[in-house]
Structure 1
Amino acid sequence: MNRLTQSLVLILLGGAVLRITTVSNEYLNYVKPGFRYFLIAAGATVLVLGAIGLLKKEDGHRGPWVAWLLTLPVFAIFLIAPPPLGSYAARSEEAPARPVGALTAYTPLTGPVSAMTIGEFLGRAWGDTTKSLTGKKVKLTGFAVPSKKRGQWYVARMQIACCAADAVPLKVAVLGAPAPAENQWIEVTGTWVPPRAGGPEPGTVAPELDATDVTEIPQPVEPYE
């Protein structure tokens, strides 16, 4: 790979990063919203470095042919931008991860239906000593994940601290409603099913929701919690 080609790769890479951060919201498939301006700065820097390289005189130096593999991520971003993590990453039957930032005390729920994140639902189901979910109708948004356990499926959402590389699945077992297509984004309305006396300890299995309504929706702009 000569200097001209290296510079073109840098320009393509910088342009790809700027495209997914300035003219679309695709960057949200990989990082949290707060990283947008860092990505814009990085993309612009790489683009400028590539442009500077084009202006320099070619010295005839060529690197190994395997250096062309560096172009593959660039074309992947342009041609087949990966979707956000979904059902495949959340299919395990193990208990969902404890949500980051879960509280030990929650305010009472008011209104006929309380919309909340899956992370908040898990926190209330596992750690709220006042059992504020009892008898309250809630609405959760996530994607459908099949379960090997008969009569249930999961509504799930991936939670990230900074980027998709550190994502962990948050899941709630849904009862009383037919399972939507795998990976379909949905809004599920229902009530928490308190764990049975003598059953598994909270946090060792996914909490359960008795569903009264399941509505299919488009993927949210921000797919992660």
Structure 2
Amino acid sequence: MSQNLVLMLLGGALLRISAFSTTYVNYVKPGFRPFLIAAGLVIFAIGLVGLVRRSAEHHHGPRVAWLLCLPVFAVFLIAPPALGSFAAARSAAPPPPQVLDAYAPLKDAGPTEMTMSEFIGRVFGDSNQTLKGKTVELTGFVTPAKKKGQWFVTRMQLACCAADAYALKVIVRGSPQPTSDSWVRVTGTWVPTEVDDDATGIVYAELDASEVERVDPPSEPYE
């Protein structure tokens, strides 16, 4: 009976984070929502059918089996948050962007809001250097850097789910570091860096900040 109850609770937890809230975007891409709802319904139904059958047979398992319910209760009570600076600091390096000449020119007046992936792509993959002299806005969470006077604005990118996430990080110069894991909107200009073909390690894009504004976490934390 306890195994069937666990299935019902697991299905209910899956429905709770996918059908009745947007918590599921902390773990998977938004496009997976229909599949999560369907899986939650199936798991809940299997547990319910098994529970009815067990009740009809008056069969009872060992009491210790109820401990199987504890992890599922934890999902209900303490849903894990989206990945933050701890995961970003230990993330593998993102794949290098392809060199393209197809990036559209940026507007001359006012800042251009841009995703982290586009900014990094333009920095390392745009031979026309369309970022040069332009003001952009990047939104992400704060990750500390080892070098004094620098920190990262960061966004995690998913291929499928949180298990395969990697960090898109841009060094921020010219502004004190806000609290780690706080979400910010950074306005600034690209700082060109010379990349040595023989250099080892990761080379990060850099932004000279003119303004850093605290913002609420977005409804979809990943790119």
Q: With the length of structure 1 as denominator, give the TM-score of the two structures.
A: 0.88
Q: Deviations over 1:31-62 (max 9, x none)?
A: 00000000000000011111111211336374
Q: Deviations over 1:151-191 (max 9, x none)?
A: 11000000001100000000000000010000000100000
Partners of 1:218 and 1:137 lie apart in 2 by 22
SS class of match (1:173): strand
Query: Which of 142, 145, 148 in structure 2 is aligned with 1:147?
Result: 145
Which residue identity lines up with residue 170 of structure 2 in the other structure? V
SS class of match (1:151): coil
Count the aligned residue pairs.
219
Quote how far apart the aligned CAs of 1:76 are.
2.1
Query: Which of 182, 185, 188 in structure 1 is aligned with 2:186?
Result: 188
User: Is the 8 Å Cα contact of residues 160 and 167 (structure 1) preserved in structure 2?
Assistant: yes
Quote how far apart the aligned CAs of 1:16 are.
0.8
What are the residue-to-residue correspondences of 1:55-134 with 2, within 5 Å? Answer: 55-56=52-53, 57-58=56-57, 60=59, 62=61, 70-91=68-89, 96-98=93-95, 104=100, 105-110=102-107, 111-134=109-132
Q: Which runs of 5 or more residues in structure 1 are unaligned?
A: none
Quote how far apart the aligned CAs of 1:107 are.
1.0
Query: Which of 37, 41, 45 in structure 2 is aligned with 1:44?
Result: 41
Partners of 1:122 and 1:60 lie apart in 2 by 60
User: Is the 8 Å Cα contact of residues 189 and 214 (structure 1) preserved in structure 2?
Assistant: yes
User: Is the 8 Å Cα contact of residues 133 and 190 (structure 2) preserved in structure 1?
Assistant: yes
Change (3 A) 1:70 1:102: farther
User: Is the 8 Å Cα contact of residues 99 and 127 (structure 2) preserved in structure 1?
Assistant: no
Which residue identity lines up with residue 174 of structure 1 in the other structure? V
Quote how far apart the aligned CAs of 1:72 are.
3.8
SS class of match (2:6): helix
Tell me the C-alpha RMSD between the 2 structures: 2.5
Quote how far apart the aligned CAs of 1:118 are.
0.6
Q: Deviations over 1:86-115 (max 9, x none)?
A: 0001125x994137x866231111142111
Q: With the length of structure 2 as denominator, give the TM-score of the two structures.
A: 0.89
Return 190-199 or 56-65, whichever deviates more.
56-65
User: Is the 8 Å Cα contact of residues 95 and 206 (structure 1) preserved in structure 2?
Assistant: no
Percentage identity across aligned positions?
54
